[in-house]
Structure 1
Amino acid sequence: MAASDDPLLLLRQSIAAGAKILTTASPDGSEDVALSKATHLVFTHPKRVAVPLDTPTRFTSANETVQNLRSIYFAWLNRDHAIPEYNAAAAKLNEDLAGSATVHSLAFVERLVLFTYLEGAQEEGEFIKPLPGAKDDAAEAAAAAAPGASLKSAAAAAARSGKGTLDPRLAHIYSGERRMGDRNSVLRGVKPTDFSHVRKLAAPFITRKPGSGSRSAQQLTAGGPGPALALNQKPARRPDPIILLSPSASSLLRMANAKAFLEGGRYQPPDYGLAGATASTTPSMLHVSRLLKGIDPARPTRFILVEGPEQFKPEYWNRVVAVFTTGQAWQFKNYRWSQPAELFKHVLGVYLGWRGEEPPETVRSFGHRVLACAVDKWRDPGQPGAETSRWRDREVVEAIWKAIEESMRAKGWRKDAAPTAI
C-alpha cells in the first residue's frame, strides 16, 4: 500500500483539514449510513478515497492485535467518552453488527497514543508502526540537517522525506539530546540484585521473644515468617457498632435527645430546651458508650448513632446492631434491605412509644423481631409531680440495651472481633 493510501494517514489528514468523512454501504456511495451498516470509509481530502472498514492499519495493540479501520474510526468518534461509556458503546455496536464484523475496545493508553497521533501532536507512537521506508527517509533528513549542511540541502531532504516523518531541524536537535534510561534501567540496572544476604545481617538485630530466639533466627534466615515479626504487628481494631435512628419528626427519640436517654437513662422530648435551634445545629452523628459485660467486660463499647445510611459504605451494614423505627415504611427506602420483614431478620428493631398507647399496626405486623418499649408521657418539670414518673425511664433503657447485647452476641460480636456478615 502506498503511503498516500495509508488509512491512518488519510484519517489524520482529513481531521487536520476538517474535511468530511463518510461511512457508506458501497465504495461509490455518497450517503452517510450508520457505522453498523457501513462497509467503507470515504475520505474527501485531499482526494476522494474509499477504504474498506475491515482494512488492517498500522496500529497494533499491546496484545499484538492489528486493529482495523473500523475500530480506529470508532475510537476516534468516541474520543470524548470515558472508558466505561466507550466500552459500552463498543459492546452495543458489536450487537448491531451481529457477527458480520467486530469492533475491538482499545485500552486507555492505546487510545491516548492514537488520539495524539491523529491530532498531529506526534509523528509516531508506541503502538503505531512506521510507514514503509519512513525510517530511511528520516535518516536522510537527519543527515541533510547535520552541522555544516546548507539550508537548501536540509529543505531538499525534508521534501524527500514526505508526510509522517520527523522535521529535519528537529532531528538535528534530538541528535544532541542525552538519552535517559527508563524506570527499569534506573532502579534495577541491567540485571536483578540479590538481597538475600540482608536476611542474615538483620537476624541478630531483631527483637525475639525469650525462649524462641534460635527458632526465630532460623526461620528468618530461611525466609519464613517468625514470631518476632508477628509481635511487631498491630492488632486490628474492632469497628464501632452502629445504631440507626428514625428521621421521622414524630419519633420520640432523635439525635437531640438520644444521648441523654441511652446514656443517662432519662427521657426528654427532642425539642426540649432547644428553642431557636436549627437543622444545622443538630449533630448528624453521635457517639454513645455502654458497658456490655457479655461482649467486653473490661471497657465500654462505643456506638455510633446516625439517622440515615446516606454516607454508608457497603461494609457498614455489617456493623448495624439496631434500628429505631416508628413503623413508617419510607424510613427503609435507602436501606440495604428496604422491606421491613427482610430488614428485621438481620437487625434488631426497636419502637419507642408512650406508655398506655398501643403501638401502630405496622409495628405490630413486624412481629417479635421489633422490641416495643414505652415511656411515661412527658410533663413539664415545672408541674407538680412531673418528676415522679421519670424513674421508669432507666428501666426502659436497660431493656433496650439488654436486647441489643443479646442480638450482638448472636450475630458474632466479640471483645476483639466484629461479624463480617449479618
Structure 2
Amino acid sequence: MAASAENDPLLLLRQSIAAGSSITPIASPESGAEVPLSKATHLQFSQPSRIAIPIDSQTRFVSSGSPVDLRSIYFAWLNREVAIPDYNASATKLNEELAGAAAVHKFAFVERLDLITWLEGASEESEYIKPLAGDKDAAGAGSGAAAATTAASKPTAATARSGRGTLDPRLAVVYNGERRMGDHNTVLRGTKPTDFSGIRKLAAPFMAKKASHPAAAIISSNPSLALNQKPSRRPDPIILLSPSASSLLRMSNIKSFLESGRYVPPDNSSTATMLHIQRTMRDIDPARPLRFILVEGPEQFKPEYWNRVVAVFTTGQTWQFKSYKWSQPQDLFRHALGVYVGWRGDPAPENVRAWGHGVLQTQVEKWRDPSQPGAETGRWRDREVMEAIWKAIEANMRSKGWKRDSGPTKESGEGEDDSERKRRNGVLRVD
C-alpha cells in the first residue's frame, strides 16, 4: 500500500500543489527539460522526492465509468481559473496539437469543480476518486494525502519563519493545533457537489405567472413600485365644432382662423373629420405648446373624452347637442365653454342670448370679395376675435385643473355659480 501511495499520480499532484513545488512536463525521464504539454511524455514531480510519471498514466479519477489520464488532470488544474467556455476551447486546441496521439478529457462543470477542490486540499474525499488498492474506503486516500501534505508543507513554512533548517519545536506545537480552512467552494457546496438544477423546475411556474401579470396588477399589489413610474402623458384637449352648414367656422377654415387669426369662408368640399392645431397656453405651460384636437361630432368618443372637451362652437341650433353627453345647453355650458361666431352688425340668435354667460359671443367682419375695393377693411379685427377665443379657452382649462404635466382634475362648471363663470370667462362678448 505504501508503494502504491508513493507513486500514485493524484497524490503526487496534490502533495506538490500543497508544498508549492515544481511540476514539469518533460519529453523523457533523462532530459528533465520542460516542454509543451502536447510534446510531453512524462510529468516530473519534485516533492516529496524527484520522480517522473508517464503522462498517459490512468488515475483513480473516474468519469462516466472510465479512468481519466494524468495529462487531462494536470491540464484541468492549469486551467482552474478560466471559465468553462475558455477551458473547453483550450482543450480542443491541445487535442489538435496532439494530432490523434492522445486526447484530453473535457470535464463537466461538477467534475472539474470536485477535482480542483480535492487537489487544493479543501476536501478530503471525492465521489469521483476511487480509493487506493488495499484501502477499506475512500477516506483512507484522503487521510493519507492530508498527512503527506501536512508533513510536506508545514516544515517548509516553519523553516522559512524560523530561518533554520529544522522545525522549531515551539512552532510544531502551534502547527499541530491548526485547523485547515476550506475555500469558497467547500463553504458553499460542502465536501460533495450539489445539483441545483431541480430548483429551476420549482421556480418555472412562479416566473411564468410573474411574466403574465400586467404592470397595473404588479403596481397595485406593491404600491411602492408606483413611486418609480414615469408620470402619465398629458392628454390632448378637445374642441367640438358645429356641423351646421350655416356655421362660419367649419373644418375647412377653422385651422387657419385659430392659428393665423384671419377669416376665410369655409369650403364645403372638405372631407376632413379631425384636425390638430398647437397653441402655447402661457398660464398652463409656457415651455411646451398644447395640441388641440378639433372634431365636428362625438361619434368616436369614449366616455372619458368628455372630460377633455374645453370648447364647443355653436350656431345656436340645439339639434347639434342631441348626441352629446349633456344634451341640454344649460348643462353643456356648465361643463364646457360655448363659442358663437357671427357677422359683425348682425344680432346673435335668440337661443345664444338665452344661454347667457356660458357662451362667448364674438363677431367677425363680413366677408367681401377680395377683388372689390375696401374688401380688406376691418380684417385686422379677426386676430382680435381669435385672441379673445383663446383667452376664454385658457381660462376655462385652468378652472378644470389643466396643468403643465396633467389634464383636468374635475369637470368644469361643477360647484360654480353664474358670477364665477363670468370671472372665469372674462369679457364674454367681443364686438
TM bracket (short chain): 0.3 to 0.5
TM-score (norm 1): 0.45
Q: Based on CA coordinates, which of the two structures has the bigger radius of gyration?
A: 2
> Which protein has greater RCO, CA pairs closer than 8 Å, 6+ apart?
2
Under a length normalisation based on structure 2, what TM-score does the superposition of the two structures give?
A: 0.44
